[in-house]
Amino acid sequence: MSNSTTKAKDSPGSLERLQVDKDAVMVCQDNLSFMRPLSAGSMKLIVTSPPYNIGKKYERRSKLEAYIQKQTRVIAECVRLLHPEGSICWQVGNHLSRGEVFPLDIILYHLFKDHGLKLRNRIVWQFEHGLHCKKRLSGRHETILWFTKGDTYTFNLDPIRIPQKYPNKKHYKGPKIGQLSSNPLGKNPGDVWTIPNVKHNHIEKTVHPCQFPIELVERLVLSLTNTGDNVFDPYMGVGSAIVAAAMHERKGYGCDTVQEYVDIAWERFHSFHAGALRTRPMNRPIYEPRN
Ligand SMILES: C[S@@+](CC[C@H](N)C(=O)[O-])C[C@H]1O[C@@H](n2cnc3c(N)ncnc32)[C@H](O)[C@@H]1O
């Protein structure tokens, strides 16, 4: 593993500070500026969680129309970078205004369709912790819109199979009588994923207010790319997607406008390669308190 090189670049009006490793590129830069010089078709998986325009500390809240316009430009550039057999996974929740809920997947769906992308799944990410609402039900899920560029696309089911509920169940009649009736490699995980979100007691928690659980990105990396492919997160935060890519021998690309997050992303990346990064393993059962 080569060490990362850090090169300060004095370009006026830009936050640019190039940071490159042979297995990762993570830069403090606005995503449109980061993407422009990259080659068309170079990214097999683009996986991200954009700001939801709800006034988190890393975003300036704007009118919903202005937010959608910005997303339109970023999505267009992502589609240009997407490999012909590649996937885009846009993970979103709700924009909120005066107590009213605006589901971002519904709002953004057509921006992808306008580029001819095809929706393969709308994955529901279900989790247990979050704000307790007083005037509506507390939000306990978000979604991942998984689009492909074409009809031929990488999809590896075996690495993301989960244990069968009844692994020893056998055919009880017919020509296969006595043989196992379910796939011994496990079952398709389905499109509802129960994965703990990263709150204060999560092993992966950093200062970032809403980072991805690495296991969530691992599932997408394993199923939608092959070893050696490129994975890109245009809103990378503390680099969870880039670490997930590195864990499975893919090359990660990412950018974020907050230098502190980029620094933490590099720390996590190096910590992973040093064997010191603690992550929640994929498919660990959810903790159920006993009564
Ligand atoms: C929802 S968070 C993503 C967190 C990330 N998934 C992780 O695991 O850490 C959105 C991120 O987008 C970054 N961001 C906002 N506007 C950006 C822009 N124009 N270019 C790049 N990053 C941006 C924010 O600083 C924030 O860290």
Distance (Å, whole) CA 263 – CA 4: 12
Tell which atom from ligand 1 comes closest to the C-alpha of 208: 9
Residue 257 placed within a domain: yes
Does some domain include residue 288?
no
Question: How many whole angstroms separate alpha carbon 26 and alpha carbon 246?
Answer: 12
Residues 39-62 pLDDT 10s: 999 999 999 999 977 666 666 667
Q: If pLDDT is split at 50, 70 and 90, which confidence band does 14 have? A: very low
The 10s digit of each residue's pLDDT in 82-123 is 999 999 999 999 988 888 999 999 999 999 999 999 999 999
Q: How far is the CA of 59 from the centre of ligand 1 (A)?
A: 8
Does pLDDT of 76 surpass 90? yes
With respect to residue 182, please indicate whether it lies within any of the assigned structural domains.
no
pLDDT, tens digit, for every residue of 193-248?
A: 999 999 999 999 999 999 999 999 999 999 999 999 999 999 999 999 999 999 99
The pLDDT of residue 12 is: 34
Average pLDDT on 10-16 reads: 38
Domain count, the chain: 1
Q: Is residue 46 part of a domain?
A: yes
* Residue 98: predicted pLDDT: 87
Q: Flag whether pLDDT at 9 surpasses 80.
A: no
Residue identified by tokens 């940071």 is 19
Domain annotation covers residue 171? no
Domain residues for the domain of 220 are 5-154+193-273
Judged by DSSP in three states, 192 sits in strand
Best residue among 35, 125, 235, 272 to mutate for probing ligand 1's pocket (most ligand atoms within 8 Å of CB) is: 235
Task: Give which of 251, 260, 257, 261 is closest to 212, Cα–Cα.
Answer: 261
- Which pLDDT band, with edges at 50, 70 and 90, does 275 fall under? very high
Instruction: Report how far ligand 1's centroid is from the alpha carbon of 118 (Å).
Output: 25
Residue to mutate, 14, 28, 58, 262, ligand 1, most ligand atoms under 8 Å from C-beta: 58
pLDDT by residue (tens digit) across 119-158?
Answer: 999 999 999 888 899 999 999 999 999 999 999 999 999 9
Total-model pTM: 0.91
Q: In angstroms, what is the span from residue 171 Cα to ligand 1's centroid?
A: 50
168 in a domain, yes or no?
no
CA of 116 to the centre of ligand 1 (A): 26
Lowest-pLDDT range of 15-19, 130-134, 219-223, 283-287 = 15-19
In a domain, 134, yes or no: yes
225 lines ligand 1 (CB under 6 A): no
Q: What is the CATH number of the domain that holds 37?
A: 3.40.50.150
